[in-house]
Structure 1
Protein backbone atom coordinates (compact mmCIF):
# COMPACT_ATOMS: atom_id res chain seq x y z
CA UNK A 1 0.00 0.00 0.00
CA UNK A 2 1.29 3.45 -0.97
CA UNK A 3 0.14 6.69 0.62
CA UNK A 4 -0.05 9.94 -1.33
CA UNK A 5 -1.57 13.37 -0.86
CA UNK A 6 -3.39 16.07 -2.81
CA UNK A 7 -2.21 19.62 -2.24
CA UNK A 8 -4.82 22.03 -3.54
CA UNK A 9 -3.26 25.09 -5.26
CA UNK A 10 -4.70 27.66 -2.87
CA UNK A 11 -1.54 29.10 -1.26
CA UNK A 12 0.88 31.60 -2.72
CA UNK A 13 4.26 30.02 -3.36
CA UNK A 14 5.94 32.66 -1.19
CA UNK A 15 3.43 32.20 1.64
CA UNK A 16 3.83 28.53 2.49
CA UNK A 17 3.23 26.94 -0.90
CA UNK A 18 6.83 25.81 -1.41
CA UNK A 19 7.16 24.51 2.14
CA UNK A 20 3.98 22.44 1.80
CA UNK A 21 5.34 20.43 -1.13
CA UNK A 22 8.72 20.05 0.55
CA UNK A 23 7.00 18.85 3.71
CA UNK A 24 5.14 16.22 1.67
CA UNK A 25 8.50 14.85 0.56
CA UNK A 26 9.88 14.97 4.11
CA UNK A 27 6.88 13.01 5.41
CA UNK A 28 7.57 10.22 2.94
CA UNK A 29 4.49 10.42 0.76
CA UNK A 30 4.77 8.37 -2.42
CA UNK A 31 3.32 11.20 -4.53
CA UNK A 32 1.78 14.64 -4.19
CA UNK A 33 -0.91 15.60 -6.65
CA UNK A 34 -2.94 18.70 -7.32
CA UNK A 35 -6.30 19.35 -8.95
CA UNK A 36 -6.20 20.65 -12.53
CA UNK A 37 -9.14 23.06 -12.45
CA UNK A 38 -9.78 26.71 -13.14
CA UNK A 39 -11.57 26.76 -9.79
CA UNK A 40 -13.36 24.18 -7.67
CA UNK A 41 -16.66 24.23 -5.80
CA UNK A 42 -16.40 25.95 -2.43
CA UNK A 43 -12.96 27.36 -3.29
CA UNK A 44 -14.26 29.26 -6.32
CA UNK A 45 -14.16 32.71 -4.75
CA UNK A 46 -10.76 32.29 -3.11
CA UNK A 47 -7.16 31.90 -4.28
CA UNK A 48 -6.59 29.17 -6.86
CA UNK A 49 -3.44 28.75 -8.96
CA UNK A 50 -2.69 26.80 -12.14
CA UNK A 51 -1.74 23.14 -11.92
CA UNK A 52 1.14 22.97 -14.40
CA UNK A 53 3.06 26.03 -13.08
CA UNK A 54 2.51 24.79 -9.53
CA UNK A 55 3.84 21.33 -10.37
CA UNK A 56 6.81 22.85 -12.18
CA UNK A 57 7.70 24.85 -9.08
CA UNK A 58 7.16 21.76 -6.91
CA UNK A 59 9.49 19.76 -9.16
CA UNK A 60 12.21 22.34 -8.64
CA UNK A 61 11.64 22.37 -4.87
CA UNK A 62 11.75 18.57 -4.39
CA UNK A 63 13.96 15.72 -5.55
CA UNK A 64 12.26 12.35 -4.82
CA UNK A 65 8.52 12.95 -4.57
CA UNK A 66 6.41 11.89 -7.53
CA UNK A 67 4.14 14.66 -8.76
CA UNK A 68 1.00 14.85 -10.85
CA UNK A 69 -2.52 15.97 -11.59
CA UNK A 70 -5.59 14.36 -10.09
CA UNK A 71 -7.13 14.90 -12.50
CA UNK A 72 -6.75 16.72 -15.81
CA UNK A 73 -9.75 16.75 -18.17
CA UNK A 74 -10.74 18.01 -21.63
CA UNK A 75 -12.91 20.75 -20.08
CA UNK A 76 -10.35 23.46 -20.81
CA UNK A 77 -7.36 21.50 -22.12
CA UNK A 78 -6.35 20.61 -25.68
CA UNK A 79 -4.13 17.54 -26.19
CA UNK A 80 -1.58 19.38 -28.37
CA UNK A 81 -0.76 22.17 -25.93
CA UNK A 82 -1.11 19.89 -22.90
CA UNK A 83 1.37 17.38 -24.35
CA UNK A 84 4.00 20.09 -24.80
CA UNK A 85 3.54 21.22 -21.19
CA UNK A 86 3.71 17.65 -19.88
CA UNK A 87 6.90 16.86 -21.76
CA UNK A 88 8.45 20.02 -20.33
CA UNK A 89 7.23 19.18 -16.84
CA UNK A 90 8.53 15.63 -17.08
CA UNK A 91 11.91 17.05 -18.10
CA UNK A 92 12.06 19.59 -15.24
CA UNK A 93 11.13 16.90 -12.72
CA UNK A 94 13.60 14.37 -14.19
CA UNK A 95 10.82 11.86 -14.84
CA UNK A 96 8.68 12.17 -11.70
CA UNK A 97 5.34 13.08 -13.30
CA UNK A 98 2.10 11.08 -13.38
CA UNK A 99 -0.89 12.33 -15.36
CA UNK A 100 -4.19 11.72 -13.66
CA UNK A 101 -6.80 12.14 -16.38
CA UNK A 102 -10.60 12.03 -16.43
CA UNK A 103 -13.61 13.02 -18.51
CA UNK A 104 -14.34 16.02 -16.30
CA UNK A 105 -17.58 17.12 -14.71
CA UNK A 106 -20.22 19.75 -15.33
CA UNK A 107 -18.84 22.40 -12.97
CA UNK A 108 -17.18 25.75 -13.60
CA UNK A 109 -14.47 24.37 -15.88
CA UNK A 110 -17.09 22.96 -18.24
CA UNK A 111 -18.60 26.36 -19.07
CA UNK A 112 -15.76 28.86 -18.59
CA UNK A 113 -14.73 28.83 -22.28
CA UNK A 114 -18.21 28.67 -23.80
CA UNK A 115 -19.84 31.48 -25.74
CA UNK A 116 -23.16 32.75 -24.51
CA UNK A 117 -25.12 30.70 -27.06
CA UNK A 118 -23.27 27.46 -26.33
CA UNK A 119 -24.43 24.75 -23.96
CA UNK A 120 -22.27 22.52 -21.79
CA UNK A 121 -21.38 19.17 -23.34
CA UNK A 122 -23.90 16.42 -22.90
CA UNK A 123 -22.64 13.22 -21.21
CA UNK A 124 -22.27 11.39 -24.54
CA UNK A 125 -20.23 14.20 -26.07
CA UNK A 126 -18.10 14.40 -22.94
CA UNK A 127 -17.33 10.69 -23.22
CA UNK A 128 -16.64 11.01 -26.96
CA UNK A 129 -14.23 13.88 -26.35
CA UNK A 130 -12.50 12.03 -23.53
CA UNK A 131 -11.87 9.02 -25.76
CA UNK A 132 -10.27 11.17 -28.47
CA UNK A 133 -8.40 13.21 -25.87
CA UNK A 134 -6.68 10.18 -24.34
CA UNK A 135 -5.92 8.57 -27.70
CA UNK A 136 -4.36 11.72 -29.17
CA UNK A 137 -2.46 12.53 -25.99
CA UNK A 138 -0.97 9.03 -26.01
CA UNK A 139 0.24 9.54 -29.58
CA UNK A 140 1.63 13.01 -28.89
CA UNK A 141 3.65 11.76 -25.93
CA UNK A 142 5.08 8.71 -27.68
CA UNK A 143 5.83 9.94 -31.22
CA UNK A 144 8.10 12.67 -32.53
CA UNK A 145 5.60 13.82 -35.19
CA UNK A 146 1.82 13.40 -35.07
CA UNK A 147 -0.97 14.15 -37.53
CA UNK A 148 -4.47 13.30 -36.32
CA UNK A 149 -7.99 14.18 -37.42
CA UNK A 150 -10.85 13.39 -35.07
CA UNK A 151 -14.38 14.61 -34.59
CA UNK A 152 -13.33 16.91 -31.73
CA UNK A 153 -9.52 17.24 -31.80
CA UNK A 154 -6.90 17.45 -34.48
CA UNK A 155 -3.15 17.80 -34.82
CA UNK A 156 -1.22 18.68 -37.97
CA UNK A 157 2.44 17.70 -38.13
CA UNK A 158 2.86 18.42 -34.44
CA UNK A 159 6.38 17.80 -33.16
CA UNK A 160 7.22 16.82 -29.60
CA UNK A 161 10.97 16.33 -29.51
CA UNK A 162 12.71 15.00 -27.43
CA UNK A 163 9.65 13.43 -25.82
CA UNK A 164 9.22 12.37 -22.21
CA UNK A 165 12.06 11.43 -19.88
CA UNK A 166 9.93 8.45 -18.86
CA UNK A 167 9.66 5.97 -21.71
CA UNK A 168 7.63 5.33 -23.71
CA UNK A 169 5.82 8.20 -21.97
CA UNK A 170 4.83 9.42 -18.53
CA UNK A 171 2.21 7.21 -16.81
CA UNK A 172 -1.54 7.79 -17.24
CA UNK A 173 -3.82 7.27 -14.24
CA UNK A 174 -7.29 7.12 -15.80
CA UNK A 175 -10.25 8.08 -13.61
CA UNK A 176 -13.27 6.07 -14.71
CA UNK A 177 -16.28 4.14 -13.46
CA UNK A 178 -18.40 3.68 -16.60
CA UNK A 179 -17.83 1.12 -19.36
CA UNK A 180 -16.24 3.50 -21.86
CA UNK A 181 -13.89 5.03 -19.32
CA UNK A 182 -12.87 1.63 -17.99
CA UNK A 183 -12.03 0.52 -21.52
CA UNK A 184 -9.79 3.59 -21.86
CA UNK A 185 -8.10 2.75 -18.57
CA UNK A 186 -7.55 -0.82 -19.74
CA UNK A 187 -6.07 0.30 -23.06
CA UNK A 188 -4.00 3.33 -22.09
CA UNK A 189 -3.66 3.41 -18.32
CA UNK A 190 -0.76 2.51 -16.10
CA UNK A 191 -3.14 3.17 -13.22
CA UNK A 192 -6.87 3.54 -12.56
CA UNK A 193 -8.43 6.13 -10.25
CA UNK A 194 -11.70 6.01 -8.34
CA UNK A 195 -13.38 8.30 -5.82
CA UNK A 196 -15.98 5.66 -5.00
CA UNK A 197 -19.59 5.78 -6.16
CA UNK A 198 -20.98 9.34 -6.14
CA UNK A 199 -24.53 7.99 -6.11
CA UNK A 200 -24.12 6.76 -2.53
CA UNK A 201 -21.95 9.56 -1.16
CA UNK A 202 -24.76 11.16 0.86
CA UNK A 203 -27.00 8.18 1.61
CA UNK A 204 -24.74 5.13 1.60
CA UNK A 205 -22.70 3.46 4.32
CA UNK A 206 -18.99 2.58 4.40
CA UNK A 207 -19.92 -1.03 3.62
CA UNK A 208 -21.99 0.15 0.64
CA UNK A 209 -18.96 2.07 -0.58
CA UNK A 210 -16.66 -0.93 -0.25
CA UNK A 211 -19.12 -3.03 -2.24
CA UNK A 212 -19.35 -0.35 -4.94
CA UNK A 213 -15.58 -0.03 -5.29
CA UNK A 214 -15.24 -3.80 -5.35
CA UNK A 215 -17.71 -3.86 -8.22
CA UNK A 216 -15.75 -1.19 -10.07
CA UNK A 217 -12.57 -3.24 -9.74
CA UNK A 218 -14.36 -6.31 -11.08
CA UNK A 219 -15.55 -4.33 -14.12
CA UNK A 220 -12.04 -2.97 -14.60
CA UNK A 221 -10.80 -6.56 -14.60
CA UNK A 222 -13.27 -7.47 -17.34
CA UNK A 223 -12.24 -4.44 -19.41
CA UNK A 224 -8.60 -5.45 -19.04
CA UNK A 225 -9.33 -9.04 -20.01
CA UNK A 226 -11.17 -7.82 -23.11
CA UNK A 227 -8.14 -5.66 -23.96
CA UNK A 228 -5.72 -8.54 -23.41
CA UNK A 229 -4.15 -6.94 -20.33
CA UNK A 230 -3.58 -8.23 -16.83
CA UNK A 231 -5.59 -6.06 -14.42
CA UNK A 232 -2.88 -6.67 -11.81
CA UNK A 233 -0.49 -4.63 -13.96
CA UNK A 234 -2.60 -1.51 -13.37
CA UNK A 235 -2.18 0.39 -10.10
CA UNK A 236 -5.52 1.10 -8.43
CA UNK A 237 -5.77 4.50 -6.76
CA UNK A 238 -8.45 5.71 -4.34
CA UNK A 239 -8.82 9.48 -3.96
CA UNK A 240 -10.46 9.86 -0.57
CA UNK A 241 -12.93 12.49 0.59
CA UNK A 242 -15.82 11.41 -1.61
CA UNK A 243 -17.05 8.24 0.07
CA UNK A 244 -19.61 7.88 2.90
CA UNK A 245 -16.76 7.50 5.40
CA UNK A 246 -16.63 11.28 5.76
CA UNK A 247 -13.55 12.43 7.63
CA UNK A 248 -13.12 9.14 9.48
CA UNK A 249 -9.87 8.07 7.77
CA UNK A 250 -8.19 11.25 9.07
CA UNK A 251 -9.62 11.10 12.58
CA UNK A 252 -6.79 8.92 13.92
CA UNK A 253 -4.01 6.59 12.84
CA UNK A 254 -6.09 3.57 13.88
CA UNK A 255 -9.07 4.80 11.85
CA UNK A 256 -6.85 5.29 8.81
CA UNK A 257 -5.27 1.84 9.17
CA UNK A 258 -8.73 0.25 9.36
CA UNK A 259 -9.97 2.24 6.34
CA UNK A 260 -6.85 1.54 4.28
CA UNK A 261 -6.78 -2.13 5.20
CA UNK A 262 -10.36 -2.63 4.04
CA UNK A 263 -9.59 -1.03 0.70
CA UNK A 264 -6.29 -2.86 0.31
CA UNK A 265 -8.24 -6.10 0.64
CA UNK A 266 -10.27 -5.04 -2.41
CA UNK A 267 -7.11 -4.47 -4.43
CA UNK A 268 -6.48 -0.75 -3.92
CA UNK A 269 -2.72 -0.08 -4.19
CA UNK A 270 -2.56 3.64 -3.39
CA UNK A 271 -4.64 5.87 -1.13
CA UNK A 272 -4.60 9.63 -1.61
CA UNK A 273 -5.45 11.96 1.28
CA UNK A 274 -6.23 15.65 0.92
CA UNK A 275 -3.77 17.89 2.73
CA UNK A 276 -5.86 19.53 5.49
CA UNK A 277 -7.31 22.97 4.77
CA UNK A 278 -8.90 24.73 7.73
CA UNK A 279 -12.53 25.87 7.44
CA UNK A 280 -13.16 23.79 4.33
CA UNK A 281 -14.58 20.42 3.32
CA UNK A 282 -11.02 19.11 3.75
CA UNK A 283 -10.54 20.33 7.31
CA UNK A 284 -8.61 17.91 9.56
CA UNK A 285 -6.08 17.96 12.38
CA UNK A 286 -2.67 18.60 10.74
CA UNK A 287 -0.87 16.75 13.54
CA UNK A 288 -2.97 13.62 13.00
CA UNK A 289 -2.49 13.93 9.24
CA UNK A 290 1.30 13.98 9.63
CA UNK A 291 1.20 11.10 12.08
CA UNK A 292 -0.78 9.04 9.56
CA UNK A 293 1.84 9.83 6.94
CA UNK A 294 4.71 8.66 9.11
CA UNK A 295 3.03 5.75 10.95
CA UNK A 296 -0.08 4.64 9.09
CA UNK A 297 1.47 2.90 6.09
CA UNK A 298 4.11 1.28 8.31
CA UNK A 299 1.33 -0.37 10.31
CA UNK A 300 -0.11 -1.72 7.06
CA UNK A 301 3.25 -3.15 6.12
CA UNK A 302 3.74 -0.70 3.27
Structure 2
Protein backbone atom coordinates (compact mmCIF):
# COMPACT_ATOMS: atom_id res chain seq x y z
CA UNK A 1 0.00 0.00 0.00
CA UNK A 2 1.14 3.55 -0.77
CA UNK A 3 0.42 6.71 1.23
CA UNK A 4 0.05 10.07 -0.50
CA UNK A 5 -1.25 13.52 0.35
CA UNK A 6 -3.29 16.36 -1.12
CA UNK A 7 -1.77 19.82 -0.72
CA UNK A 8 -4.40 22.44 -1.42
CA UNK A 9 -3.16 25.28 -3.68
CA UNK A 10 -3.75 27.90 -1.00
CA UNK A 11 -0.19 29.00 -0.24
CA UNK A 12 1.86 31.77 -1.76
CA UNK A 13 4.83 29.95 -3.21
CA UNK A 14 7.26 31.36 -0.66
CA UNK A 15 5.37 29.16 1.84
CA UNK A 16 4.07 26.49 -0.51
CA UNK A 17 7.56 25.45 -1.61
CA UNK A 18 8.35 24.35 1.93
CA UNK A 19 5.15 22.31 2.20
CA UNK A 20 5.82 20.36 -0.99
CA UNK A 21 9.43 19.76 0.02
CA UNK A 22 8.29 18.58 3.42
CA UNK A 23 5.92 16.10 1.77
CA UNK A 24 8.90 14.60 -0.03
CA UNK A 25 10.98 14.52 3.16
CA UNK A 26 8.20 12.67 4.98
CA UNK A 27 8.30 9.93 2.37
CA UNK A 28 4.88 10.33 0.77
CA UNK A 29 4.53 8.41 -2.47
CA UNK A 30 2.85 11.37 -4.18
CA UNK A 31 1.43 14.81 -3.51
CA UNK A 32 -1.63 15.91 -5.43
CA UNK A 33 -3.52 19.18 -5.64
CA UNK A 34 -7.12 20.02 -6.48
CA UNK A 35 -7.67 21.32 -10.00
CA UNK A 36 -10.38 23.85 -9.21
CA UNK A 37 -10.81 27.56 -9.76
CA UNK A 38 -12.02 27.75 -6.19
CA UNK A 39 -13.45 25.24 -3.76
CA UNK A 40 -16.27 25.24 -1.23
CA UNK A 41 -15.31 26.90 2.06
CA UNK A 42 -12.10 28.23 0.49
CA UNK A 43 -13.96 30.24 -2.15
CA UNK A 44 -13.18 33.59 -0.54
CA UNK A 45 -9.68 32.59 0.51
CA UNK A 46 -6.38 32.43 -1.44
CA UNK A 47 -6.47 29.75 -4.13
CA UNK A 48 -3.90 29.27 -6.90
CA UNK A 49 -3.90 27.37 -10.19
CA UNK A 50 -3.17 23.63 -10.15
CA UNK A 51 -0.89 23.37 -13.17
CA UNK A 52 1.43 26.28 -12.24
CA UNK A 53 1.54 24.91 -8.69
CA UNK A 54 2.55 21.45 -9.94
CA UNK A 55 5.14 23.01 -12.23
CA UNK A 56 6.69 24.84 -9.30
CA UNK A 57 6.50 21.71 -7.14
CA UNK A 58 8.30 19.76 -9.86
CA UNK A 59 11.27 22.12 -9.62
CA UNK A 60 11.26 22.06 -5.80
CA UNK A 61 11.25 18.25 -5.44
CA UNK A 62 13.19 15.33 -6.87
CA UNK A 63 11.42 12.04 -6.12
CA UNK A 64 7.84 12.85 -5.13
CA UNK A 65 5.18 12.01 -7.68
CA UNK A 66 2.86 14.91 -8.47
CA UNK A 67 -0.67 15.10 -9.76
CA UNK A 68 -4.13 16.54 -10.11
CA UNK A 69 -6.94 15.15 -7.99
CA UNK A 70 -8.91 15.68 -10.07
CA UNK A 71 -9.09 17.70 -13.27
CA UNK A 72 -12.32 17.78 -15.27
CA UNK A 73 -14.10 19.21 -18.32
CA UNK A 74 -15.75 21.92 -16.19
CA UNK A 75 -13.26 24.55 -17.34
CA UNK A 76 -10.72 22.52 -19.32
CA UNK A 77 -10.35 21.62 -23.01
CA UNK A 78 -8.38 18.51 -23.99
CA UNK A 79 -6.17 20.36 -26.50
CA UNK A 80 -4.82 22.94 -24.06
CA UNK A 81 -4.82 20.52 -21.12
CA UNK A 82 -2.73 18.00 -23.05
CA UNK A 83 -0.06 20.59 -23.76
CA UNK A 84 0.09 21.59 -20.09
CA UNK A 85 0.27 17.99 -18.86
CA UNK A 86 3.00 17.12 -21.34
CA UNK A 87 4.99 20.10 -20.09
CA UNK A 88 4.65 19.25 -16.39
CA UNK A 89 5.58 15.65 -17.14
CA UNK A 90 8.75 16.90 -18.85
CA UNK A 91 9.70 19.37 -16.11
CA UNK A 92 9.14 16.74 -13.41
CA UNK A 93 11.16 14.11 -15.22
CA UNK A 94 8.17 11.81 -15.62
CA UNK A 95 6.60 12.15 -12.16
CA UNK A 96 3.10 13.30 -13.14
CA UNK A 97 -0.14 11.42 -12.49
CA UNK A 98 -3.38 12.83 -13.88
CA UNK A 99 -6.39 12.35 -11.65
CA UNK A 100 -9.39 13.04 -13.88
CA UNK A 101 -13.17 12.91 -13.67
CA UNK A 102 -16.46 14.26 -14.94
CA UNK A 103 -16.44 17.31 -12.64
CA UNK A 104 -19.13 18.44 -10.28
CA UNK A 105 -21.50 21.27 -9.54
CA UNK A 106 -20.77 24.61 -7.92
CA UNK A 107 -18.40 27.45 -8.73
CA UNK A 108 -16.22 25.66 -11.29
CA UNK A 109 -19.27 24.54 -13.21
CA UNK A 110 -20.47 28.07 -13.99
CA UNK A 111 -17.36 30.26 -13.79
CA UNK A 112 -17.06 30.47 -17.58
CA UNK A 113 -20.63 31.69 -17.88
CA UNK A 114 -22.25 28.40 -18.88
CA UNK A 115 -25.32 26.90 -17.27
CA UNK A 116 -24.57 24.16 -14.78
CA UNK A 117 -24.51 20.80 -16.56
CA UNK A 118 -26.62 17.91 -15.37
CA UNK A 119 -24.97 14.65 -14.35
CA UNK A 120 -25.84 13.19 -17.75
CA UNK A 121 -24.42 16.20 -19.59
CA UNK A 122 -21.18 15.93 -17.61
CA UNK A 123 -20.94 12.24 -18.44
CA UNK A 124 -21.62 12.93 -22.13
CA UNK A 125 -18.76 15.41 -22.24
CA UNK A 126 -16.41 13.12 -20.36
CA UNK A 127 -17.12 10.40 -22.93
CA UNK A 128 -15.47 12.68 -25.50
CA UNK A 129 -12.98 14.45 -23.25
CA UNK A 130 -11.03 11.43 -22.01
CA UNK A 131 -10.57 9.61 -25.36
CA UNK A 132 -9.47 12.83 -27.03
CA UNK A 133 -7.02 13.62 -24.24
CA UNK A 134 -5.62 10.10 -24.57
CA UNK A 135 -5.15 10.53 -28.32
CA UNK A 136 -3.54 13.96 -27.93
CA UNK A 137 -0.99 12.61 -25.47
CA UNK A 138 -0.07 9.58 -27.57
CA UNK A 139 0.18 11.16 -31.04
CA UNK A 140 2.37 13.87 -32.54
CA UNK A 141 -0.62 15.34 -34.37
CA UNK A 142 -4.34 14.91 -33.66
CA UNK A 143 -7.41 15.85 -35.66
CA UNK A 144 -10.81 14.85 -34.36
CA UNK A 145 -14.28 16.38 -34.63
CA UNK A 146 -16.69 15.84 -31.77
CA UNK A 147 -19.97 17.18 -30.49
CA UNK A 148 -18.29 18.92 -27.58
CA UNK A 149 -14.53 18.83 -28.20
CA UNK A 150 -12.51 18.96 -31.39
CA UNK A 151 -8.85 19.17 -32.38
CA UNK A 152 -7.39 20.26 -35.70
CA UNK A 153 -3.78 19.20 -36.29
CA UNK A 154 -3.05 19.71 -32.60
CA UNK A 155 0.67 19.04 -32.10
CA UNK A 156 2.18 17.43 -29.02
CA UNK A 157 5.83 16.91 -29.77
CA UNK A 158 8.01 15.35 -28.30
CA UNK A 159 5.34 13.49 -26.34
CA UNK A 160 5.36 12.51 -22.68
CA UNK A 161 8.40 11.37 -20.74
CA UNK A 162 6.25 8.52 -19.43
CA UNK A 163 5.27 6.26 -22.29
CA UNK A 164 2.89 5.84 -23.90
CA UNK A 165 1.61 8.82 -21.87
CA UNK A 166 1.14 10.13 -18.35
CA UNK A 167 -1.06 7.76 -16.29
CA UNK A 168 -4.76 8.55 -15.93
CA UNK A 169 -6.41 7.87 -12.57
CA UNK A 170 -10.13 8.08 -13.28
CA UNK A 171 -12.55 9.17 -10.56
CA UNK A 172 -15.69 7.17 -11.24
CA UNK A 173 -18.52 5.34 -9.51
CA UNK A 174 -21.15 5.07 -12.27
CA UNK A 175 -21.22 2.58 -15.16
CA UNK A 176 -20.04 5.00 -17.83
CA UNK A 177 -17.13 6.28 -15.77
CA UNK A 178 -16.10 2.76 -14.78
CA UNK A 179 -16.18 1.71 -18.43
CA UNK A 180 -13.81 4.57 -19.26
CA UNK A 181 -11.62 3.56 -16.32
CA UNK A 182 -11.33 0.04 -17.68
CA UNK A 183 -10.51 1.36 -21.14
CA UNK A 184 -8.17 4.27 -20.40
CA UNK A 185 -7.23 4.24 -16.71
CA UNK A 186 -4.00 3.18 -15.12
CA UNK A 187 -5.73 3.88 -11.83
CA UNK A 188 -9.16 4.43 -10.26
CA UNK A 189 -10.12 7.00 -7.64
CA UNK A 190 -12.91 6.99 -5.07
CA UNK A 191 -13.67 9.39 -2.25
CA UNK A 192 -16.40 7.21 -0.79
CA UNK A 193 -20.13 7.48 -1.20
CA UNK A 194 -21.11 10.35 -3.56
CA UNK A 195 -24.04 11.15 -1.27
CA UNK A 196 -21.70 12.68 1.28
CA UNK A 197 -20.50 11.94 4.82
CA UNK A 198 -23.76 12.80 6.53
CA UNK A 199 -25.57 9.98 4.72
CA UNK A 200 -23.23 7.07 5.45
CA UNK A 201 -22.49 5.87 9.00
CA UNK A 202 -18.82 5.22 9.73
CA UNK A 203 -19.32 1.48 10.10
CA UNK A 204 -20.91 1.32 6.63
CA UNK A 205 -18.25 3.33 4.79
CA UNK A 206 -16.04 0.33 3.95
CA UNK A 207 -18.98 -1.54 2.41
CA UNK A 208 -19.49 1.38 0.02
CA UNK A 209 -15.93 1.01 -1.27
CA UNK A 210 -16.30 -2.76 -1.42
CA UNK A 211 -19.37 -2.38 -3.64
CA UNK A 212 -17.60 0.15 -5.88
CA UNK A 213 -14.62 -2.17 -6.28
CA UNK A 214 -16.96 -4.99 -7.30
CA UNK A 215 -18.43 -2.74 -10.00
CA UNK A 216 -14.94 -1.80 -11.16
CA UNK A 217 -14.05 -5.48 -11.41
CA UNK A 218 -17.18 -6.11 -13.48
CA UNK A 219 -16.35 -3.21 -15.79
CA UNK A 220 -12.87 -4.64 -16.31
CA UNK A 221 -14.28 -8.08 -17.08
CA UNK A 222 -16.69 -6.58 -19.63
CA UNK A 223 -13.81 -4.76 -21.30
CA UNK A 224 -11.43 -7.73 -21.16
CA UNK A 225 -9.12 -5.80 -18.85
CA UNK A 226 -7.18 -7.43 -16.04
CA UNK A 227 -8.57 -5.88 -12.84
CA UNK A 228 -5.18 -6.33 -11.16
CA UNK A 229 -3.57 -3.91 -13.63
CA UNK A 230 -5.58 -0.94 -12.31
CA UNK A 231 -4.28 0.88 -9.23
CA UNK A 232 -7.06 1.61 -6.75
CA UNK A 233 -6.92 4.88 -4.81
CA UNK A 234 -9.04 6.12 -1.90
CA UNK A 235 -9.13 9.85 -1.20
CA UNK A 236 -9.75 10.33 2.52
CA UNK A 237 -11.68 13.30 3.83
CA UNK A 238 -15.18 13.03 2.37
CA UNK A 239 -16.65 10.58 4.88
CA UNK A 240 -17.36 10.69 8.60
CA UNK A 241 -14.28 8.53 9.25
CA UNK A 242 -11.48 10.27 11.19
CA UNK A 243 -8.26 8.32 10.52
CA UNK A 244 -5.99 11.32 11.13
CA UNK A 245 -6.94 11.69 14.79
CA UNK A 246 -4.19 9.33 15.86
CA UNK A 247 -1.66 6.85 14.55
CA UNK A 248 -3.77 3.94 15.78
CA UNK A 249 -6.87 5.32 14.06
CA UNK A 250 -4.97 5.57 10.79
CA UNK A 251 -3.57 2.05 11.08
CA UNK A 252 -7.08 0.66 11.62
CA UNK A 253 -8.41 2.68 8.67
CA UNK A 254 -5.60 1.76 6.29
CA UNK A 255 -5.76 -1.90 7.28
CA UNK A 256 -9.48 -2.04 6.59
CA UNK A 257 -9.14 -0.62 3.10
CA UNK A 258 -6.00 -2.55 2.25
CA UNK A 259 -7.95 -5.73 2.97
CA UNK A 260 -10.62 -4.60 0.51
CA UNK A 261 -8.05 -4.04 -2.24
CA UNK A 262 -7.13 -0.35 -2.02
CA UNK A 263 -3.54 0.26 -3.18
CA UNK A 264 -3.11 3.94 -2.30
CA UNK A 265 -4.60 6.13 0.42
CA UNK A 266 -4.48 9.90 0.00
CA UNK A 267 -4.82 12.15 3.05
CA UNK A 268 -5.21 15.92 3.15
CA UNK A 269 -2.34 18.04 4.38
CA UNK A 270 -3.63 19.81 7.51
CA UNK A 271 -5.18 23.24 7.00
CA UNK A 272 -5.95 25.11 10.25
CA UNK A 273 -9.45 26.46 10.80
CA UNK A 274 -10.95 24.35 8.01
CA UNK A 275 -12.57 20.96 7.47
CA UNK A 276 -9.00 19.66 7.03
CA UNK A 277 -7.78 20.88 10.40
CA UNK A 278 -5.63 18.17 11.99
CA UNK A 279 -2.65 18.10 14.32
CA UNK A 280 0.44 18.46 12.11
CA UNK A 281 2.61 16.44 14.51
CA UNK A 282 0.17 13.53 14.41
CA UNK A 283 -0.08 13.86 10.63
CA UNK A 284 3.71 13.67 10.24
CA UNK A 285 3.86 10.66 12.54
CA UNK A 286 1.25 8.93 10.39
CA UNK A 287 3.28 9.78 7.29
CA UNK A 288 6.48 8.28 8.66
CA UNK A 289 5.15 5.37 10.72
CA UNK A 290 1.62 4.60 9.56
CA UNK A 291 2.23 2.06 6.82
CA UNK A 292 5.03 0.36 8.76
CA UNK A 293 2.51 -0.33 11.54
CA UNK A 294 0.38 -2.34 9.13
CA UNK A 295 2.97 -5.10 9.07
Structure 1 length-normalised TM: 0.96
Q: Could you say which residue in structure 2 is the equivalent of 1:121? A: 117
Give the Cα separation in 1 of the matches to 2:102 and 2:199: 25
Question: Bigger shift: 118-127 or 60-69?
Answer: 118-127
Residue ranges of structure 1 left out of the alignment (5+ in a row): none
RMSD of aligned residue pairs (Cα, Å): 0.8
Residue ranges of structure 2 left out of the alignment (5+ in a row): none
The one-character-per-residue Cα deviations of 1:168-194 (angstroms, maximum 9, x if unpaired) are 000000000000000011100000000
* Runs of 4+ with >6 A deviation: none
- Aligned pairs for 1:142-291 (under 5 A) are 142-199=138-195, 201-245=197-241, 248-291=242-285
1:26 aligns with 2:25: yes
Q: Could you say which residue in structure 2 is the equivalent of 1:96? A: 95
Q: Could you say which residue in structure 2 is the equivalent of 1:77? A: 76
Give the Cα separation in 2 of the matches to 1:200 and 1:9: 23
- SS at 2:98 equivalent: strand
Give the Cα separation in 2 of the matches to 1:104 and 1:180: 14
Q: Could you say which residue in structure 1 is the equivalent of 2:110? A: 111
Give the Cα separation in 2 of the matches to 1:108 and 1:291: 35
Shift of 1:199: 2.0
- SS at 2:97 equivalent: strand
Structure 2 length-normalised TM: 0.99
- SS at 1:11 equivalent: coil
Size of the alignment, in residue pairs?
295
Q: Could you say which residue in structure 1 is the equivalent of 2:2? A: 2
